[in-house]
Structure 1
Amino acid sequence: MKVRSLGTLFDDVVARGIRTVVHLDRPLDLAPLRGTRFDLPAVAALVRETAGALHAAGVGPGDSVAVVKENHWDYVLIAAAAARLGAVPALLSDHLTPESLQILLKRLEPTALVTTRAVLDDGHEHGIDLTSLVGCTVCLDGEQPGAVSLASLRGTPPPPPVERAPDAPLVVNHTSGTTGLPKLVVHTTRTLLHGIAAAEATRVPVVSTRASDTACSAIAFSHGRAVPWTASVLSLGPRELVVVSDAENAEPVLRAHPPTTVEALPSTYVRWMPMTGPDGPFRGVRLYVSTFDAMHPPTVRAYLGATARRGPLWLQVWGQTETGPLTFRVLTRRALAAAERRHPTTRDLGRPVPGRTRLKVVDPRTFAELPPGTPGLVLVRTPVVCVGYVGEHDRWHAKWNDGWWNTGDVGVRTPLGAFRLLDREVDLIPGHSGVELEDVIEDRVPGVVECVVLGTPGTTPVPVLVTRDGTLDVWAWRAAQYDLPPLAEPVVLTWEQVPRTGTGKVRRMELREVVHRGQDTYGTGLWT
């Protein structure tokens, strides 16, 4: 099913007669007084109203509109409003530091910045006036020096929708930034909507959204996943959408509207583990979806066990902001039944997306293709690769190799054509897979909710163990190591002590500073 336009997305699904009802965990920052329940005509009207306000702020065709705010689905609505004017929305997480925002805004040179007083105040506390970097600053929650309030712009009728060429920039998202300043990724209508979203809107048995579903999304809505997810799921017309912006306060909306499908950040799944009991809100889930980062066996096992459905599935997707989904694998209770394996099944990320993606593993020095079973850099060929990095075209161009995109991941191709992830190239540990070690340790040591293994030249790898209370069962730790390579004494931290991105990923370079392990890695970091 082809998704025609981001600017008219909500009008289009309303015109098709889709009657999905949206339930939010909290009101939108874009409309704080309009409650937590929306039908699609109300969403479409809010997008048109926001387009009128942006038009009043001086936004027009070809302009850039930066959005920085607290996580919520209205990132997508503001993006649609900007796209309706022919402008290009750039969605930036408020987890970025003011220094990072300053650099990214200078690269974007936006006509308008849509933000909040909290973001502007944080900038001022660091000596940075974000309003000075843009043409007009629109503040969602009131007046602020150097900014106009959204309320003062409401009431301006939007101009007719502007259709941009399919290969013109449509949306800018940033990468996670686990190893430094994020890249600004440019997608087009052809790549993001006609490619990624349209493929996901194709009805596939079992894994596609159904008309009877209550589909829950608890992701980072500034991320490149948010727009194609919204476009595809609405095209399929589920009965309800449950949108979760804050993992910590999700239980009321999940219990009020129990989902049948769930897509969440890996970090969110981890934080929701206390709700996986038999009387929890996941008892009716038939399908879980994970993207963004590695999922570890205990978490997957707990959620598959939390539902009363006879044969629930876990769809594990590997992809990147630049490419969308690349491989997928469906996991079952049976696949996860054996605990504490030395080589967990979750490291097998399945096969390339049929008909759209090809994959090969190459030598990182010569780029010659390697035989199955030999670790190397993973390259992909897909028609939906982003068209550039804002302000860093040379960096984008360097990731191409004779028509193949360099993912920067290290993996192994199996004899049957599946892909097994080992590590990000910058995080690799020679002779081992850090991600696999993290899988095993989480599976074997009770109380460990997250494990990060840091490799540093000249020393044994350091396991950083995250527990809820910052303590560790030493005997369980020792017992878990019987077939593992030599490891340094673990560093035990709480969840709050670990630096994270807006998608919940661990900022590994910053974590190295926290545990005093320096910045030296085995990897080159050339393709991050």
Structure 2
Amino acid sequence: MINKYEPFNLFSNFSKSAERFPDQTIQFDEPLPSFPELTLSTTYLESKKALIVKASQLQKLGIVKSNKVILYKSAQFDTYLLAVALAYIGAVPIMISPHLPVETMDILTERLGNPWLICDFATQKRSQQLQKLDTNQLIFAEKINDITIETLSSQIKLPDDMISYMTHTSGTTGVPKLIAHSANSMGWRIKWQKNILSLIRKRGLVAFHISPVHSRFNIGISSLMAKGFPLLSIANPNLKNVAFVLRKCEPFIIETHPNHFVQWTQLAKEKPEVFASVKYYHSTFDAINKETMAIFLRTSKYRKPIFLQVYGQSECGPMIMRFHTKSSLKRANARVMGVGMLGLTKARIVDQNGRVQAAGTPGNIQMLSKGRALTYFNEDQRFNENVYGKWWDSGDYGVKNRLGSLSLLDRQVDLIQTIDSTLAIEDRLLDQLTFLDEVIIIRGKEGKPQPIVSVRAGQKMDFDRWFAAISDFPHLNEPIMMDYDKIPRTATMKVQRLRLEKALTQSE
């Protein structure tokens, strides 16, 4: 089924979904601080009613049409619900990771020009330290519930081509950039996702642990609701909680970040029954190694479970897809991301001068997406530096084969002269060395490849197996051991490689 395109309004989509599927459920593993009335289980319709009340309370606090409102709070589902409530009154939600420090937040706040900011218990102290925020425009999420309203507000819509929603880049290479979206640009992304969901006939429970400030969250949840799927939001990703929640709820579909899948492999291997109910797995926008996918597919009670690998970027949305099964993974190269969606997304490979490369010749990956973002807010020049007509330079390095399948090799800024693909080496080592939680190859002394490794809890570093595994690789420096939790990451668990390199240089 091919779904029709229509501009996407956060609240309108939520409202239509609630009208079509009023009794469909949304479950949570933790109470929502700013929506306590929803408890741990609610419905589409109950949520819609709560959203309108919340929107009316926010309007009474002084938020009006086109105001920019930073959501800087704990990573729970109510972050998204607050964004929908803001959209109802025509405000522009700005989705910001709660992990960003005060210094970065001051830069982003100044860039937005007198925004409002909603914080909570997790970010209150840092929010009060901001120098570039009007203290009269700081709102504590938990206090919104205390606002008394006499009448409910009416919905206010922004023009479809106006900035109506912002996320930010991962910040792996510095201060994040604010990515501006409109109803028109987001509509194409929703169409892409609905096309995928139309392939799934059963409306089974969808469990997800995704950063609510990631552009993927908005696309995924809005599309799932439009199709009437029941939802299970997992805020706490630790193994004990995940095991409890999944056993209790038995989801049909699971989506999370690749690095969370890596962390959950320990649970999948020790207690595979936890994931037995899952037929479809989906990882967000980033590459994932083959053995991780295989481990989860083997836990399923279904004869042909599927792992959907999607490669994309916040600037362009979901782009390239590939479906994996237990049998296909045996002969698959996990670096091969797949192909675009006809009429919506595709990729090409170009050299440093922008010339399109022949099949088999690596180069810079450029993307064509109807859902491309409008700009980086107040940084148009930085955005336009990556624009080549209809094409967007992803910052990634890869190659296409003669059949048009795209392989991701590296980030352009992470290239190491002696290695074709650091990501391929990392994949192979993680696939083979099951005692490792993480392998990262960065530039070390004199630009040589430096492995950073994290050993799985309860395991020991096996150097005999390590040196056997790297015997046919280009020279790698002796690995540096690091605790998994000490590795610097973004809100979506991406490794901040340049920060690692800088720390390594400073320690020498």
- Structures share a fold, TM > 0.5? yes
CA contact (8 A) 1:102 1:133 kept: no
Q: TM-score normalised to the size of structure 1? A: 0.90
* Cα separation, 2, equivalents of 1:114 and 1:186: 19
Question: Within 5 A, what are the aligned runs for 1:194-273?
Answer: 194-202=187-195, 206=199, 208=200, 210-238=201-229, 240-248=230-238, 249-273=241-265
Task: Using the TM superposition, give the Cα deviation of residue 136 of structure 1 relative to its aligned residue in structure 2, in angstroms.
Answer: 1.2
Which whole-Å deviations, capped at 9, do the CAs of 1:307-336 have from their partners, x for residues lacking one? 111001110000000111110001111132
* CA separation of 1:327 and 1:179: change in aligned 2, threshold 3 A: same
Find 2:279's aligned residue among 286, 289, 294.
Answer: 286
Which whole-Å deviations, capped at 9, do the CAs of 1:346-367 have from their partners, x for residues lacking one? 1000011221123211112x11
CA contact (8 A) 2:316 2:367 kept: no
Number of aligned residues: 499
Please give the secondary structure, in 1, of the residue aligned with 2:328: coil
Task: Using the TM superposition, give the Cα deviation of residue 274 of structure 1 relative to its aligned residue in structure 2, in angstroms.
Answer: 2.6
* Cα separation, 2, equivalents of 1:347 and 1:280: 29
CA contact (8 A) 2:344 2:369 kept: yes
Paired position in structure 1 for 2:112: 108
Task: Using the TM superposition, give the Cα deviation of residue 62 of structure 1 relative to its aligned residue in structure 2, in angstroms.
Answer: 1.1
Query: Structure 1: which amino acid aligns with 2:260?
Result: T
Which whole-Å deviations, capped at 9, do the CAs of 1:468-498 have from their partners, x for residues lacking one? 2484111111110121111000011121111
Find 2:488's aligned residue among 496, 499, 512.
Answer: 499
Paired position in structure 2 for 1:178: 172
Please give the secondary structure, in 2, of the residue aligned with 1:202: helix
Paired position in structure 2 for 1:27: 31
Paired position in structure 2 for 1:398: 385
Paired position in structure 2 for 1:325: 318
Please give the secondary structure, in 2, of the residue aligned with 1:352: coil
* CA separation of 1:505 and 1:203: change in aligned 2, threshold 3 A: closer
Say if 2:149 is the partner of 1:155.
yes
Which whole-Å deviations, capped at 9, do the CAs of 1:373-426 have from their partners, x for residues lacking one? 111111122221100111211101111112211111101011111100010111
* CA separation of 1:385 and 1:442: change in aligned 2, threshold 3 A: same
Paired position in structure 2 for 1:129: 130
Higher mean C-alpha displacement, 345-354 vs 132-141: 132-141
Query: Structure 2: which amino acid aligns with 1:358?
Result: K
* Cα separation, 1, equivalents of 2:250 and 2:147: 37
* Cα separation, 2, equivalents of 1:226 and 1:496: 24
* Cα separation, 2, equivalents of 1:389 and 1:511: 26
Task: Using the TM superposition, give the Cα deviation of residue 252 of structure 1 relative to its aligned residue in structure 2, in angstroms.
Answer: 2.1
* CA separation of 1:459 and 1:129: change in aligned 2, threshold 3 A: closer
* Cα separation, 2, equivalents of 1:304 and 1:154: 50
Say if 2:364 is the partner of 1:370.
no
Query: Structure 2: which amino acid aligns with 1:348?
Result: V
Percent identity over paired residues: 27
Task: Using the TM superposition, give the Cα deviation of residue 446 of structure 1 relative to its aligned residue in structure 2, in angstroms.
Answer: 2.7
* CA separation of 1:316 and 1:412: change in aligned 2, threshold 3 A: same
* Cα separation, 1, equivalents of 2:248 and 2:27: 9
* Cα separation, 2, equivalents of 1:152 and 1:347: 51
CA contact (8 A) 1:172 1:187 kept: yes
Paired position in structure 1 for 2:349: 361
Please give the secondary structure, in 2, of the residue aligned with 1:370: coil
* Cα separation, 1, equivalents of 2:207 and 2:314: 21
Task: Using the TM superposition, give the Cα deviation of residue 7 of structure 1 relative to its aligned residue in structure 2, in angstroms.
Answer: 2.1
Paired position in structure 2 for 1:409: 396
Task: Using the TM superposition, give the Cα deviation of residue 123 of structure 1 relative to its aligned residue in structure 2, in angstroms.
Answer: 4.9
Say if 2:82 is the partner of 1:81.
no
Which whole-Å deviations, capped at 9, do the CAs of 1:29-53 have from their partners, x for residues lacking one? 2124642101111110121111011
Q: TM-score normalised to the size of structure 2? A: 0.93
CA contact (8 A) 1:49 1:156 kept: no
Find 1:49's aligned residue among 46, 53, 56.
Answer: 53
CA contact (8 A) 1:24 1:242 kept: yes
Query: Structure 1: which amino acid aligns with 2:137?
Result: C
Query: Structure 2: which amino acid aligns with 1:175?
Result: T
Structure 1: gaps spanning 5 or more residues: 142-148, 339-343, 520-528
Structure 2: gaps spanning 5 or more residues: none
Higher mean C-alpha displacement, 301-310 vs 155-164: 155-164
* Cα separation, 1, equivalents of 2:117 and 2:197: 39
CA contact (8 A) 2:438 2:454 kept: yes
Paired position in structure 1 for 2:290: 297
Which whole-Å deviations, capped at 9, do the CAs of 1:87-137 have from their partners, x for residues lacking one? 11001010111111111111112542111143131355xxx3368346511
* Cα separation, 1, equivalents of 2:135 and 2:168: 18
Say if 2:471 is the partner of 1:478.
no
* Cα separation, 2, equivalents of 1:155 and 1:332: 53
* CA separation of 1:153 and 1:162: change in aligned 2, threshold 3 A: same
Say if 2:54 is the partner of 1:62.
no
Please give the secondary structure, in 1, of the residue aligned with 2:207: strand
CA contact (8 A) 1:19 1:237 kept: no
Paired position in structure 2 for 1:511: 500
Paired position in structure 2 for 1:308: 301
Query: Structure 1: which amino acid aligns with 2:337?
Result: L
* Cα separation, 1, equivalents of 2:464 and 2:202: 50
Paired position in structure 2 for 1:524: none
Paired position in structure 2 for 1:145: none
CA contact (8 A) 2:197 2:224 kept: no
- Root-mean-square deviation (CA, aligned residues, Å) is 2.1
Which whole-Å deviations, capped at 9, do the CAs of 1:420-449 have from their partners, x for residues lacking one? 001011111234101001011111223111
Say if 2:99 is the partner of 1:95.
yes
Task: Using the TM superposition, give the Cα deviation of residue 69 of structure 1 relative to its aligned residue in structure 2, in angstroms.
Answer: 0.5
